[in-house]
């Protein structure tokens, strides 16, 4: 890995990024779900629904939802009857998820929650049928290492799916979104969560994330084949996928 990595618009030592990202998610955990609705006008729910439809989870499959946070993806996956492992580096995010799983009406029978760093997984080789990561990969310090680990823990024929913000190609929309995210998002973060800085980081980290062709190439470099990208809103959000053979 290089000497420095981006923490939003700042270049910092890798350890410092991991520590600071930890601080961000510990700070926002309690308000994370509310803020997602507020910032996206509820649209993150539609993106997540579409993402899980693409994964096509099936009963009896073993699926790893990496950087699963408060469980939004895992709850959707579990409805299929798949056995879902929700892994995240941040205990505060997992605690909120475990709490949500206990609420009445939640399909969470086949969910297992565990602390894990995406870069250094302790699961055996070829263990999972599918690996999902939603809005998590851009927060990981060593992204190539996390992609290699995703590849290692998937069985042959296993599938990789990543939902992440990217760069919209729609003329005009990019400028509007840029102004919204830099000006409005940190203010809403301050208002609803008392934390403008964390939301400033989340916006800046989107800008620093590789564009769709570059990220697709990184997925291929990790060993995945038949890689594909499905842009939404011109690429504001994208589903990247690949197969292990």
List of residues contacting ligand SAM (CB under 6 A):
21, 25, 67-69, 72-73, 88-90, 93, 117-119, 134-136, 139-140
Least distance (Å) between residue 239 CB and ligand SAM: 12
Q: Which is nearer to ligand SAM, 170 or 230 (CB)?
A: 230
**Minimum distance of ligand SAM from residue 225's CB (angstroms):** 24
Between CA 172 and CA 233 the distance in angstroms is 12
Evaluate whether 91 touches 30 at the Cβ level (below 8 Å).
no
The answer to whether the CB of 118 falls within 8 A of the CB of 124 is: no
Residue 165 CA to residue 231 CA, distance in Å, equals 10
Q: Which residue lies nearer to ligand SAM by CB, 170 or 192?
A: 192
| Closest approach of ligand SAM to the CB of residue 41, in Å | 16
Nearer to ligand SAM, 90 or 166 (CB): 90
Shortest distance (Å) from residue 67 CB to ligand SAM: 3
Chain residue at closest Cβ approach to ligand SAM? 69
Cβ at position 142, least distance to ligand SAM in Å: 8
- Look at residues 201, 188, 184 and name the one whose alpha carbon lies nearest to residue 26: 201
Whose Cβ is closer to ligand SAM: residue 30's or residue 170's? 30
Helix ranges, the chain (H): 14-28, 32-40, 43-55, 72-78, 91-101, 143-153, 173-179, 185-193, 196-208, 212-221
Q: Quick one: 93 or 212, whose CB is closer to ligand SAM?
A: 93
- Cα-based distances in Å from 210 to 87, 180, 213: 24, 20, 8
């Amino acid at each position: 890995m290089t000497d420095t990595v981006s923490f939003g618009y700042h270049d910092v030592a890798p350890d410092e990024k991991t520590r600071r990202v930890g601080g961000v998610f510990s700070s926002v955990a309690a308000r994370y779900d509310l803020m997602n609705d507020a910032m996206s006008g509820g649209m993150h729910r539609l993106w997540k629904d579409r993402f899980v439809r693409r994964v096509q989870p099936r009963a009896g499959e073993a699926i790893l939802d990496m950087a699963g946070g408060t469980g939004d993806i895992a709850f959707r996956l579990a409805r299929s009857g798949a056995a879902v492992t929700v892994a995240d580096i941040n205990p505060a995010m997992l605690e909120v998820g475990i709490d949500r799983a206990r609420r009445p009406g939640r399909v969470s029978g086949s969910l297992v929650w565990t602390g894990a760093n995406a870069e250094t997984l302790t699961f055996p080789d070829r263990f999972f049928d599918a690996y999902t990561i939603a809005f998590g990969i851009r927060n990981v310090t060593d992204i190539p290492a996390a992609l290699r680990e995703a590849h290692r823990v998937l069985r042959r024929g296993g599938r990789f799916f990543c939902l992440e913000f990217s760069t919209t190609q729609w003329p005009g929309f990019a400028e509007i979104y840029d102004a919204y995210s830099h000006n409005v998002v940190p203010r809403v973060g301050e208002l609803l969560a008392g934390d403008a800085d964390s939301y400033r980081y989340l916006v800046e980290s989107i800008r620093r994330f590789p564009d769709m062709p570059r990220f697709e190439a990184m997925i291929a470099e990790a060993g995945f084949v038949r890689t594909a990208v499905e842009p939404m809103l011109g690429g504001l959000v994208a589903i990247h996928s690949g197969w292990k053979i």
